[in-house]
Amino acid sequence: MAMDRKTSLLLIPLIIAIIAIIGLIAAIVYMNSDMDKYIEAKKLADREVESAKNLRADAITQYQALSRFVTGSPDSDPSVLKPQYLDNKPANNRLWEFLGEQGRSFNYLTELYDRIFDERVIALQRAVAAEQESKAFEEEKKIANETLVQVKEQKEVDIRNLQKTVREKETEITTLQQQYKSMQARLQAQIDQARTEKQELEKQLNMEIAALRSEIAEKKRRIKELIKKPTSTLMWCDPDGEILTTDNKLGNCWVDLSRRDGLRVGSVFEVFRYIKGGRRKAKGRIEIKKVGNEVSQAAIIEMLDPEDDPIVKGDHIISPFFDKHETKTFVIAGELTNPIYSEQEVIKMIEEMGGKVAHDVTVETDFLIVGKGAEDTEKYTRALDLGTTIMLEKELFKFLGK
């Protein structure tokens, strides 16, 4: 057992030595590998140095050519650098777009530089102008914004005022609506009451109207009975006077009418006498020429039968215009057919003879003068109902002396 322990102790150094040898071998192998890499790297570096030398030489050559091209020397050769640095480059293509086709004719960078500088100056001027415009626009925008803010603030104030006014108006409207409803209710009640009172009054009024109509109808009937008389003509009227004496040779006569009777010069009277049966027979016409205090003188202007039945003492005279006590009233119905005188002229002649002309037929009407179509008028019907004396148009002109 002790022997085994001693042997183990002897093996430990041996093992350590073996391990150290193995590590040394590994280090040698690793160093050999690094040496190879270093040698390879050195070769690569030598090649790069040689390439750099070549590049430097090429660069020097290119620099010399570029120097000649840039300075614009006549000895420069632009055909070497221009295609390489100015043609077929993306940036150069953008440059041609900026300069136009004219830029492709530049042989020297100095020419190109001058052109680019001019264009740059123009661009800077435009940029400055654009900046100034932008500043002016910004200033205007700022002023506009300030103005807009002021306007917005004022609008907000106006809106608040309007809202306040709207609320006040709404309150007023609500109050007015309530007052209107209350007033409408009162008015409706008054209307209902008035409608009820109206209905009662209408009933009472209808009863009174019916009674009045009945009374009016009865009074009309009685009035017609009192005033209705048979239709008459002028020959049914009482005579106005008579002939006192005549002078048929001279064509004169005297009548029992005078100034105190209201007789007028120019008045025309129809002369008649009574015959059997109380009938009247016309004998002619006379015209007053001189009015006296007791008697008046007249001229015989027409004699119907001078041989067998001349105008003599005792004959009666009559005129529709003459009345000892009142003025005669005339009404014209229909259209007067006289071709010489108009209706206004006829009215004037009647008034000159002492009569008066009215428009409608009443109980005061003495004579109705009938013209063309008079029978179809209300005046004619009314005259028949009242018993007004009917006078033809031609009879009127006889008494007018026309």
Please report the pLDDT score of residue 310 as a whole number: 92
* Pair (344, 308) in one structural domain: no
CA–CA gap between residue 62 and residue 49 (Å, rounded): 19
The CATH number of residue 282's host domain is 2.40.10.410
Place of tokens 């209905």: 199
* Pair (281, 337) in one structural domain: no
* Pair (311, 364) in one structural domain: no
Q: Which helix (H) or strand (E) holds 192?
A: helix 109-227
* Pair (237, 314) in one structural domain: yes
398 inside domain: yes
Please report the pLDDT score of residue 370 as a whole number: 93
* Pair (295, 244) in one structural domain: yes
DSSP three-state, residue 319: coil
CA–CA gap between residue 393 and residue 301 (Å, rounded): 19
CA–CA gap between residue 402 and residue 395 (Å, rounded): 10
94 inside domain: no
* Pair (251, 274) in one structural domain: yes
Band of residue 334 on the pLDDT scale cut at 50, 70, 90: very high
Q: pLDDT higher for 4 or 279?
A: 279
Kindly report the number of other CB atoms within 10 A of residue 107's CB atom. 14
* Pair (278, 300) in one structural domain: yes
SS3 readout for 114-159 = HHHHHHHHHHHHHHHHHHHHHHHHHHHHHHHHHHHHHHHHHHHHHH
Q: Identify the CA nearest to 312 among candidates 235, 236, 255, 266.
A: 255
Q: Could you tell me the residue range of the domain that residue 293 belongs to?
A: 232-319
* Pair (331, 315) in one structural domain: no
Please report the pLDDT score of residue 146 as a whole number: 83
CA–CA gap between residue 197 and residue 209 (Å, rounded): 17
Residue pair 271/316 in contact (Cβ under 8 Å)? The answer is yes
Average confidence (pLDDT) over 6-13: 64
Q: Please state the pTM of the whole predicted model.
A: 0.36
Domain termination residue (choose one: 270, 285, 319): 319
pLDDT in tens, 336-377: 988 888 999 999 988 888 889 999 998 888 899 999 999 999
Domain termination residue (choose one: 276, 295, 319): 319
* Pair (315, 331) in one structural domain: no
Please report the pLDDT score of residue 89 as a whole number: 54
* Pair (293, 356) in one structural domain: no
344 inside domain: yes
* Pair (307, 263) in one structural domain: yes
Which among 24-28, 90-94, 126-130 has the top mean pLDDT? Answer: 126-130
pLDDT in tens, 284-296: 999 999 988 889 9
The CATH number of residue 338's host domain is 3.40.50.10190
144 inside domain: no
289 inside domain: yes
Q: pLDDT higher for 22 or 73?
A: 22
311 inside domain: yes
Kindly report the number of other CB atoms within 10 A of residue 369's CB atom. 22
pLDDT in tens, 201-255: 888 888 888 888 877 777 766 665 555 545 555 656 788 899 999 988 889 999 9
Domain count, the chain: 2
Please report the pLDDT score of residue 175 as a whole number: 86
Per-residue pLDDT at 121 exceeds 90 = no
393 inside domain: yes
Amino acid symbol at 192 = D
* Pair (340, 371) in one structural domain: yes
